[in-house]
Amino acid sequence: MTSPLDSRRFLYVTGKGGVGKTTVTAAVALVLASRGKRVLCAMCQAKERLSALLEGPPVGDEIVELQHNIWAVNIQPEVALAEYGQMTLKVRAVYRAVFENRLVKAFLRATPGLYQWAMLGKAWYHTTETLPDGSPRFDVVIVDAPSTGHGLDMLRGPKVIVDVAPPGLLRREAEKAWSMFSDPKRSGVVLVTLPEEMPVTETLDLLETMRSDLKLPVLEVVVNGVLPPLFSSEERGALLAPRDLDPSQLGDAALAAGARRARREIVQHDALVRLRESVDVPLVYLPHVFADVDSLKAISDLASRIH
């Protein structure tokens, strides 16, 4: 089955903190790798857990292979900026004189958006790399992006450079990157959410911002942690109906657990209805994992739900 992710060279996975962006990144990487794609997962100065999910070696600022056809890197802004400086200035001695100067370092740290662009630009750069035979080193780069606010700031970086920077190498590189990011045939954003009120509200706001402000293509919304319903609407109503309890019933753990589950199912139902009514891109549902999700088997099970 053809997926909206199959033909893209650059994917940007973002959403509210704690919704499972890294889990979704790992699952998407497994799906694309199983279809013969060479996949690079790029984290941005992240607390690294991708190696646990895919049962590979630890991921640092050097690219490592986690599974067949899946590589990963945890991009650090200082390292990315240094690499950019060396490519720009060519001569190592000149690079050291400029980028290793204490005052220059302080200026770079204080420049809004520069570190974010350094990380995003490095991720984009890997889409341009080729093997000796001329084929792409990676067929797709998946950015496991920071949570919503920082993720938006990161995406705004190249757009600001394109809009305001004077002509030069920095602007040319940003223009090339932004051309790819805004091309729906080559790139796309994957939004991740949970079936709860606040994450859904933030996701809908994020979808609107991506389209109206940044004008970037959103490919799909992944709803993570969907519970299988245990009760019908009538049963949920009965569990939550006010009742007079005698003292022997006050400690009924099973009844209390049923009421908690009924409340959660109602919240989930309302959130999913809201998403279906408000979102015009494909919705992908991933089930709640009751056991430990930090394993290749768990991620493989989730990947089977992604088409």
Read off the pLDDT of each residue in 199-221 and give the average, rounded to a whole number: 95
Read off the pLDDT of each residue in 187-194 and give the average, rounded to a whole number: 97
Residues 211-222 have pLDDT tens digits of 999 999 999 999
pLDDT at position 71 is: 98
pLDDT at position 89 is: 44
Side-chain half-sphere CA neighbours of 217 within 13 A: 18
**Residue ranges of the domains in the chain?**
10-303
Q: Does an H or E element contain 13, and which? A: strand 10-15
Side-chain half-sphere CA neighbours of 169 within 13 A: 8
244: confidence class by pLDDT, cuts 50, 70, 90: low
41's CB contacts (< 8 A; 6+ apart) are 25, 26, 29, 50, 66, 70, 71, 72, 73, 142, 144
pLDDT at position 118 is: 83
pTM above 0.75, yes or no: yes
Please tell me the class of the 10-303 domain. alpha beta
* Closest to 142 (Cα-Cα) out of 70, 242, 61, 243: 70
Tell me the three state secondary structure of residue 162.
helix
pLDDT at position 202 is: 95
Is a pLDDT exceeding 90 seen at residue 96?
A: no
What percent of the chain shows pLDDT beyond 90?
56
Residue 147 φ/ψ, nearest 5 degrees:
-65, 170
Tell me the three state secondary structure of residue 137.
coil
pLDDT at position 104 is: 44
